[in-house]
Structure 1
Amino acid sequence: MGDDREFDRMLEEELTALPLPDDTVAEVNPWRRAMVRIVWGTGLTTLTLNFWYLNYLLPAVGVVLLFLGFRTLRRENRWFALCWGLSLLDLASFYVGRVMDATIWARDLPPLGAALALLGLVRSFCLWRGIRAVRRCAGQEDRAGAAAALLTFQCALVALGLLGGGNLQLQGLFFAVIFLGLYICIMRSLAKLPALLDGAGYVVRAAGARLSELAVWITWAVLLAAGLLVAGTAFCRYPMEWSPVEAGEQQQLEEIRDSLLALGMPEQVAEDLAPGDLALLEGALSVTAQVHEEPFNDGREERSVSGRTIHVQTVYDVRELRLSDIAVELPGGRWRIIHHFLWQAEPGLRTTECISLWPTTRDGFDGWRQEGEVTGRLLFDWQGTTYEGDYYSISTEPYTTNSFFWGESQSTDPTALFSLPRRGEYCRGYLTYGVETVEDGWLLDSWINYTHQVKWLNYPAMTAQEYDRSGIWNGFGAFHTAQTAIQFYPASEAEKGSYQTW
């Protein structure tokens, strides 16, 4: 029996003397494994890359790494327990922020940037104190220089962010190089944190967890994907109200309508006019109408060969949107302008729509004076019934526009916002306003920009109005803008009817 015990003792000594591979040590060492996750999580959430959606993807990974790292160490001391609680808040705030970015209502929330920045500072402070506490327990020097440097760096970033609204500018290459250099040095110091306890003889015990790390990653990915899908589907539209059109609403105004049709007004436009707008056209003297069809698809390429030259042109088999621009002349030098649109094919995505109106009474056109407000209505057909609704808003409040040619400028031109119905055919509508002549010889010149979403990838969610005011033009972003204008000189029959469209 004594020989057996001696043999067991000798065998245990031999096995414990065998050197284990570094990766095996890291696998069974809770401190090293947790600190590696914390270091990587800190790096991915502190500074991000603003291209290829990495500014969203990298922090999405970083917040989970921080959670997993602090979850392992949460029983070690109270500071790591606080870090774990703050990492839960990081997860929740990141989730809410990213899901709200998939909606058009995120800009209506109060700014949370300052609160989240403060949360990051508190977490870095707790990390600094937690590392110091662990080193004291291990009999090492009570300091954590890398964590202190990280805290100082983040304090500087927050201070500069608060000062960024003033005269301080950090867009120069000099500042960028300095901050990048400091960040690299701090990250190199943080990379040494997992090895702090090597050889100290102090063992950190991992806190238990109900969910495995794989389950945490899968749950996070599923919840995030589901939240983005639901938010992007349900909350990327304006609230609209629709009601059936009253049968025979133009019954008492048939004479006016027939007169307009005889003068050349498109039949669809005449039928869509509300009774109040139709009544304003009584006694019309002339109608100038232009119709333009705009494609909202990529079309197809068609090649032809002429000698040694290959000609390539884009052919559109379908032009989804028909735009009709109409000017109705009334007695007394008055005119009524109507801008009508009709989706004669499936519009595709039905999120937000924007019509920007440049009326003939805008700045620089002093020969005209506007009568009344801009009005209009929306219509669509579904299962044999025609429905109508009002625009979500028709605003003339001042706003800032950006243009590649003219830069930033202020405008008060009317903007109409709405969403197409989730289902329905022949979605259509119009805007109308009246003008009167102040001085003869002025160009009657009225434009509209119709902006519609054509690509599903639109994150963070941008509205058609934001696209229209951003100065971005077709070919960039998720939207397409159709622009038409009616332009002619009422006093000159030779030039009447000249029309330009882009």
Structure 2
Amino acid sequence: MEESFWKQTYEKILIGMGLFGITLNFLFLNQILPFLGALLLFTGFRKLRLENRWLKAGYAGAALKVVITIVNIVIGSVLEREKIYVSYVWKVIVFCGGILPVFLMVCLFLGMREELEKRKAEIKNEVVLHIIIWYVVVTVLAVREYEGWILGLAIVAAYIGILVELKNIAEKLEQAEYVLEEHPVRISDGRYAAGAAILTAAGLLIGYTCFGSYHMAWTTAKETQDSASEEIKAHLLSLGFPEEILHDLKEEDILACKNARQILLNQSDDLLRDGDERLQLDGVAVELEQEGQWKVIHHFLWNGNSGFRGTEAVQINPAYQELNGGWTAQGELTGQVLYDKDGTSYTAEYASLQNEAYDTNQNFPFYGSQQYASIFAEFSMPHRGENCRGYVAYEIKAKESDWWIDSWLNYTHQKTIWQYPVISAAQNRKQGGWLNERVFSTVQDALQVLPEGERENSVGLGM
């Protein structure tokens, strides 16, 4: 026996509601299932929009749910989406997206009740109370950030129970000889679904290409003309400071090295990608005019094409971070990024340069997430730039004598555009580097020198 048009329609709506109640965080199902659910709700309520006011309101709500679902998916391709999340507009979108499933269930119930009343059939209103109670409980648990399994399963079971109640009412309406007429439409459901898919794909493409990396404020690099800076440069070169690194320093860092006492350094040349592209990492320690006070400089240089250019991150575990160590932090973090094009050098500040504490969010059965603190410099390189390079510098002061300067660096490079949701190289490091090899590559290096003048060249270690 062929199913009635009404049964096909309400089953489509209930399946759509069911897909919204499922959260599977693998194979992108947490985006795919809500998208399919939104399309089923829209195409289902579309067939009911001429029946009564409640079902017409459900049609409008379903259309809004499709839009919000597409926006949610596209936002995942935007790197700095946290700035969007804190906006008032986004909070309104989140609220609407959260309440719409409940609104649609209520509209479906009230619409079916109105049709039953036209046919003199009785209907109980308990399902509305069940929907309201369910929504209140879910809201309270969300506010309290509940993560347990017991109540979670109970919530899912209650949601399924509500859908079953709605199905029973739909069957009762069919038994009351309700006939849903199929009205001619200009645009088929398939074309609507294809249009939504194309719109989503276009949004993702724009997000990846236009908002998948940092927007750097590049300006033409200017050579220092100050005579005092030139004298300091000459003095640093006489102590053995690498000339190619010296030319990349800001004037404030050069002036801080006035009357420097000694230079200690290490250099390495590491393969970061599976090709001929080499990343040169250098560490320089400059003892400043005041005895026991040092400026530590970590410099990087791409000798060749770095491949895909998305986000980069320099993570430094500074010398002063060692527990019960012999160093204390002094002053502010400094640094910049540079590149060459057509014989001209360009420079920019880091998108972010700060010393921050972070949680790896690695929750394993036998131990919880780990707390760390590091210096992070985040940036993106231009697509057609050459000799991409930069540095990060910080100052330390000795608490005790005869302590090694032990400063570690992790350089993380994004290898491909293909990741969802988009995260930066720095975020990957903060999450424990679980996307390494597939999306990101990391090289480790260390500056390990003795202040007395012993030079210990360290070798960069690939991760």
- Corresponding residue for residue 72 of structure 2: 97
Decide whether the 8 Å contact of 1:75 with 1:207 is kept in 2.
no
> Percent identity among equivalent residues?
32
AA of the residue aligned to 2:207? A
Secondary structure of 2:177's aligned partner: coil
- Corresponding residue for residue 191 of structure 2: 215
Moved more, 275-284 or 48-57: 275-284
- CA distance 1:274–1:128, change in 2 (3 Å): same
Root-mean-square deviation (CA), in Å?
A: 3.1
- Corresponding residue for residue 277 of structure 1: 253
- CA distance 1:320–1:161, change in 2 (3 Å): farther
> Which structure 2 residue ranges, 5 or more long, are not aligned?
none
CA deviations over 1:453-500 (Å, ceiling 9, x no partner): 22322222212232222223463763333322212332474xx41636
User: How far, CA to CA, are the matches of 1:330 and 1:52 in structure 2?
Assistant: 54
Task: Give the drift of 1:93.
Answer: 1.4
- Corresponding residue for residue 355 of structure 2: 396
AA of the residue aligned to 1:321? L
- Corresponding residue for residue 441 of structure 1: 402
Residue among 225, 233, 236 paired with 2:212: 236
- Corresponding residue for residue 380 of structure 2: 419
- Corresponding residue for residue 306 of structure 1: none
AA of the residue aligned to 1:232? Y
User: How far, CA to CA, are the matches of 2:185 and 2:340 in structure 1?
Assistant: 57
Q: How does 1:9-24 map to 2 (within 5 A)?
A: 21-22=1-2
Task: Give the drift of 1:191.
Answer: 5.4
Task: Give the drift of 1:68.
Answer: 0.8
Secondary structure of 1:335's aligned partner: strand
Secondary structure of 1:472's aligned partner: coil
CA deviations over 1:230-265 (Å, ceiling 9, x no partner): 012111233321111225658875554455445444
Secondary structure of 1:117's aligned partner: helix
Q: How does 1:19-418 map to 2 (within 5 A)?
A: 21-22=1-2, 25-26=3-4, 29=5, 31-108=6-83, 109-110=85-86, 111=91, 112-143=93-124, 148=127, 152=130, 155-156=133-134, 159-166=137-144, 169-172=146-149, 174-187=150-163, 195-198=171-174, 200-247=176-223, 249=225, 253=229, 256-261=232-237, 263-297=239-273, 299=274, 317-331=275-289, 332-362=291-321, 364=323, 366-396=325-355, 399-401=358-360, 407-409=369-371, 411=373, 413-418=374-379
- CA distance 1:196–1:99, change in 2 (3 Å): same
Decide whether the 8 Å contact of 1:293 with 1:319 is kept in 2.
no
AA of the residue aligned to 2:54? W
Task: Give the drift of 1:119.
Answer: 2.3
Task: Give the drift of 1:118.
Answer: 2.0
Secondary structure of 2:321's aligned partner: coil
User: How far, CA to CA, are the matches of 1:471 and 1:171 in structure 2?
Assistant: 24
User: How far, CA to CA, are the matches of 1:406 and 1:492 in structure 2?
Assistant: 42
- CA distance 1:178–1:399, change in 2 (3 Å): closer
User: How far, CA to CA, are the matches of 1:407 and 1:72 in structure 2?
Assistant: 50
Larger Rg belongs to: 1
Decide whether the 8 Å contact of 1:121 with 1:155 is kept in 2.
no
User: How far, CA to CA, are the matches of 1:473 and 1:47 in structure 2?
Assistant: 25
User: How far, CA to CA, are the matches of 2:23 and 2:396 in structure 1?
Assistant: 53
- CA distance 1:474–1:460, change in 2 (3 Å): closer
Secondary structure of 2:195's aligned partner: helix
- CA distance 1:434–1:200, change in 2 (3 Å): closer
User: How far, CA to CA, are the matches of 1:277 and 1:382 in structure 2?
Assistant: 25
Q: TM-score, normalised by structure 1?
A: 0.80
- Corresponding residue for residue 460 of structure 1: 421
Moved more, 83-92 or 135-144: 135-144
AA of the residue aligned to 1:159? V
CA deviations over 1:258-287 (Å, ceiling 9, x no partner): 554454443421222233323333444433
AA of the residue aligned to 2:200? L
User: How far, CA to CA, are the matches of 1:156 and 1:142 in structure 2?
Assistant: 20
- CA distance 1:388–1:99, change in 2 (3 Å): same
Decide whether the 8 Å contact of 1:72 with 1:208 is kept in 2.
no
Task: Give the drift of 1:341.
Answer: 0.9
AA of the residue aligned to 1:451? T
Decide whether the 8 Å contact of 2:269 with 2:281 is kept in 1.
yes
Task: Give the drift of 1:193.
Answer: 6.2
Residue among 432, 437, 446 paired with 2:393: 432
- CA distance 1:449–1:194, change in 2 (3 Å): same
Task: Give the drift of 1:115.
Answer: 3.6
CA deviations over 1:169-221 (Å, ceiling 9, x no partner): 4423x445544544555555555666444454332234553311121011111
Decide whether the 8 Å contact of 2:21 with 2:156 is kept in 1.
no
Moved more, 176-185 or 52-61: 176-185
Secondary structure of 2:202's aligned partner: helix
User: How far, CA to CA, are the matches of 2:23 and 2:166 in structure 1?
Assistant: 17
Q: TM-score, normalised by structure 2?
A: 0.86
- CA distance 1:249–1:480, change in 2 (3 Å): farther
Decide whether the 8 Å contact of 1:370 with 1:435 is kept in 2.
yes
AA of the residue aligned to 1:118? I
User: How far, CA to CA, are the matches of 2:272 and 2:168 in structure 1?
Assistant: 55
Secondary structure of 1:426's aligned partner: strand
AA of the residue aligned to 1:483? Q
- CA distance 1:77–1:265, change in 2 (3 Å): same
User: How far, CA to CA, are the matches of 2:99 and 2:379 in structure 1?
Assistant: 38
AA of the residue aligned to 1:318? D
